[in-house]
Amino acid sequence: MAYDYEKSIRPGKLPHIWCPGCGHGIVMKGLIRAMDTCELDRDNTAVVSGIGCASRLPGYLDTCTLHTAHGRAAAFATGIKMAKPDMNVIVVGGDGDGTAIGGNHFIHACRRNIDMTYVIMNNSIYGMTGGQFSPCTPTGAKASTTVYGNPDPTFDISKLAIGAGATFVARGTAYHAVQIDKLIAEGIRHKGLAVIEILDDCPTTYGRRNKFRSVIDMMKRLKETAVPVTAAAKMTEEQLEGKVLTGVLYNTEKPEYTEQYAKLIKRAQGA
Amino acid sequence: MAKKVALIQGNEACAQGALYAGCSFFAGYPITPSTEVAEVMSIELPKIGGKFIQMEDEIGAIAALIGAALTGAKALDSTSGPGMSLKQELLGYACIAEIPCVIVNVQRGGPSTGMPTGPSQSDMQQAMWGTHGDHAAIVLTPASCQEIYEETVRAFNLAEKYRMPVQIQLDEICAHMREKVEYAEPGELEVIDREAPSVPPEEYKPYDASKGLVPPLASFGSGYRYHVTGLNKAADGFPTTKAELVDAEERRQIDKIMLNQEDIQKNEEYLLDDAEVILFAYGSTSRSARYAVNELRKDGVKAGMFRPLTMWPFPEKRVAELADQAGAIVCPEMNLGQMVREVERVAKGNCTVAHIGRVDGEPINPGQIIDKVKEVL
């Protein structure tokens, strides 16, 4: 039997705004499955986003949804989680939103290890504004603002998250659709800040400028560059050249922020 | 029983007023001369089970503020000039999404880093027009520690009642001076909580104009699942570009303030009945103005003072009446001409309007005001 996504989608809100071939819809379905797996109470779950194509995702979900300003989703979400720690808080957004304009909020959410799940759809481009380069656009790639090739080095979002203090970091791709919900579910269950980076595609504004003639070409790129961490352990450095590791990249336990604050309240109250 | 009194700073009075109003959440970022508000909240909030968070920057602070307010918390943020400039985008977000919250701006010299420890009143037009797009604003300008305490309670009440961000504009003098403050007993001052929806969740629309100019706001986690966005939206909270819907929502959000001005306006009128020259003064400058009025009266000059506690929306009606009554309105301000523009606009040439501006980090003293009044007369 086909999976029933519609019970999680707000009536009348489809079709979505994403272009044919965009991976964001695949990620949304993965998120819906993960929320079901974790049996999240939709009355007590907030899905928060910034601005951009990926950030339109919350509007489709039948839960408490907050579409904020560009880059600020993690900070809005932090306010929700602090004020109401029993609420499940999920942040979704793109690479530009999360690591350029929102980079400061992203690293500090990681540092606090506040119990939220941040699903970041990395399609290496600013799609909504028509394809300008982001901090995740490969060096040399073409964007509407790098017609001579991108001169900028790139962020590795997962490494950035680990370095900043996130305690669960996983990476998947829009091609490996069945893995997405498992990674997100693991992130939701994790106590602390979980970052799930999903390598995504934007055929409309990235693909057509970078010799990916079709959506299938873009998907093939995701398929071919991804190497599961388990497989990578048996591969040589040479074999791993140009590849991207997928799966759970980092998983550790550290004090969670709202729990630490609850202890602070007890100290302040002299308990 | 004797009332609890304390000798405290304006900034501390602001924090105490917030706690009286039921504030349970503070988000901020350190900045002179506002930091004491944050420091007091960091000590006091945990004692009552509230939350204090020092965010990574001023933008993050107002973002967290809005997030917390959406869960039902009464939320406070304090900052100063440079921080307020950073917050402008999200101030507009709180306006369009109609999220109640209170932001204190302790004004210091500017522009830019300016004079962090010097007093100023040069963010007065920014408070109204700083964020982009058409919107209404509620901005309060208390002038003493007792008044800061009470006006902070009123700021929360207005935020909750009208579902919008309310700004309290202090200046460094008011914020750092110490005065006796009498704390109110529980129940003594009115405390307003936002109206929660009465309809079942499936019928709830967060911007339903049929529920009045200020539709009820459901808290996240209270059983109401709905969408909040900074885009122009329809009654159900979802984005729309339909001209008539966008227009109606924009107008409602301004009408809810402009049509309720009688409730929102507050001012002090000092010796105005027979006044021929009126000082339009606010914040710490009004303290010099009051002294100047008394001195001028001793010299036989019929002087008075109009002191807005609600600066925005601007008290147009009353200032227009005063412009008809008086020969001159003199506006002392620690800026080079901000609120005087409004006085001039409203006076429509019916009286002389003069300005005393000072931006050297020193307060305007009564002598300066007296000299100007005598020059105008």
* B322 inside 8 A of chain A by CB: no
CATH number of B267-376: 3.40.50.920
Chain B contact probe: residue of A265, A266, A269 with most B CBs at under 10 A: A265
* pLDDT reported for residue B367: 98
List the 9-68 stretch of A: residues with Cβ below 8 A of B. Answer: 10, 13, 42-44, 46, 48, 58-59, 62-68
Residue A164: both structure tokens together: 């900043």
Compute the average pLDDT of residues B32-49. Answer: 98
Looking at beta carbons, which residues of chain A come within 8 Å of B27? 79
**Pair of tokens at residue A74:** 């993690």
Q: What is the pLDDT of residue B293?
A: 98
Chain A partners within 8 Å of B224 (Cβ):
43, 64
Q: Is residue A9 part of a domain?
A: no
Nearest 5°: the CA angle A160, A161, A165 is 115
Mean pLDDT of chain B: 98
pLDDT greater than 80 at residue A73: yes
Residue A271 has pLDDT above 80, yes or no: no
CA distance A169 to chain B (A): 22
- For the beta carbon of residue B259, count every other beta carbon within 10 angstroms: 11
Q: Least CA distance to B61: which residue of chain A?
A: A75
Interface of A with B in 78-97 (CB under 8 A): 78-84, 86-87
Which structural domain range is residue A73 located in? 21-268
Cis peptide before B313 (omega within 30 of 0): yes
Q: Does any CB of chain A come closer than 8 Å to the CB of residue B301?
A: no
Question: In chain B, where does the domain assigned CATH 3.40.50.970 lie?
Answer: 5-182
Q: Judge whether B226 is closer than 8 Å to chain A, CB to CB.
A: yes
User: β-strand B138-140 against B310-312: which pairing, if any?
Assistant: antiparallel
- Mutate one of B53, B86, B131, B204 to test the A interface: name it (highest A CB count within 10 A): B53
Chain A residues lying within 8 Å of B221, measured CB to CB:
43-44, 46, 64, 84, 86-87
Give the nearest partner residue to A59 out of B64, B230, B238, using CB atoms: B238
Provide the CATH number for the domain around residue A29.
3.40.50.970
**How big is chain A, counted in residues?**
271
Specify the number of domains making up chain A. Answer: 1
- Give the residue on A whose Cα is nearest the Cα of B76: A79
| CA distances, B232 to each of A48, A55, B42, B133 (Å) | 18, 16, 36, 11
Q: pLDDT digits over B279-319, tens only?
A: 999 999 999 999 999 999 999 999 999 999 999 999 999 99
Residue B45 confidence (pLDDT): 98
CA distance A80 to chain B (A): 5
**DSSP at B100:** -
List of chain A residues whose C-beta atoms are within 8 Å of the C-beta of residue B56 = 75, 104-105, 107-108
Distance from CA of B78 to the nearest CA of A (A): 15
The pLDDT of residue A13 is above 70: yes
* Tokens read off for A50: 């910034």
Dist CA B156 CA B103 (whole Å)? 10
Overall average pLDDT of the B35-40 stretch: 98
ipTM over 0.95: yes
Give the pLDDT confidence score for residue A2 in this predicted structure: 86
Is the bond preceding A203 in cis, omega lying within 30 degrees of 0?
no
**Of B125, B133, B81, nearest in space to B103 by CA:** B81
- Of B27, B47, B63, which has the smallest distance from its Cβ to A268's Cβ? B47
pLDDT tens-digit readout, B118-144: 999 999 999 999 999 999 999 999 999
Any idea which fold B5-182 has?
Answer: Rossmann fold (3.40.50)
Q: Does residue A10 lie within any of the structural domains?
A: no
Specify if A140 maps to a domain: yes
Dist CA A66 CA B369 (whole Å) = 50
Spell out which residues of chain A touch residue B90, defining contact as CB-CB under 8 Å.
69, 72
Q: What are phi and psi of B349, to 5 degrees?
A: 80, 5
Flag whether pLDDT at A1 surpasses 70.
no
pLDDT band at B341 (very low <50, low <70, confident <90, very high): very high
| The 3-state secondary structure of chain A, one letter per residue | CCCCCHHHECCCCCCCCCCCCCCHHHHHHHHHHHHHHCCCCHHHEEEEECCCCHHHHHHHECCEEEECCCCCHHHHHHHHHHHCCCCEEEEEEEHHHHHHHCHHHHHHHHHHCCCCEEEEEECCEECCCCCEECCCCCCCCCECCECCCCCCCCCCHHHHHHHHCCCEEEEEECCCHHHHHHHHHHHHHCCCCEEEEEECCCCCCCHHHCCCCCHHHHHHHHHHHEEEHHHHCCCCHHHHCCCEEEEEEEECCCCCHHHHHHHHHHHHCCC
Number of A:B CB contacts under 8 A? 134
Residues in A touching B72 (Cβ below 8 Å) = 83-84
Find chain B residues with C-beta within 8 A of A77's C-beta. Answer: 67
Give pLDDT, residue B1: 64
Specify if A158 maps to a domain.
yes
Cβ contacts (< 8 Å) between A104 and chain B: which residues?
56-57, 60
Cβ contact (<8 Å) for B51 and A261? Answer: yes
Nearest chain A alpha carbon to B94: A68
Residue A6, domain member (yes or no): no
Chain B hits for A128, CB-CB cut-off 8 Å, are: none
For residue B151, pLDDT beyond 70? yes
Summarised one tens digit per residue, pLDDT across range B203-260 is 999 999 999 999 999 999 999 999 999 999 999 999 999 999 999 999 999 999 999 9
Per the domain annotation, does A241 fall within a domain?
Answer: yes
Q: What pLDDT does B62 receive?
A: 98
B97: distance to nearest CA of chain A, Å?
A: 10
Of A43, A66, A79, the CB nearest to B228: A66
Mean pLDDT of chain A: 97
* pLDDT-derived band at A185, boundaries 50, 70, 90: very high
Using 50, 70 and 90 to split pLDDT, how confident is the model at B3? confident
Q: Tell me the residues of chain B between 15 and 44 that have a Cβ less than 8 Å away from chain A.
A: 24-25, 27, 43
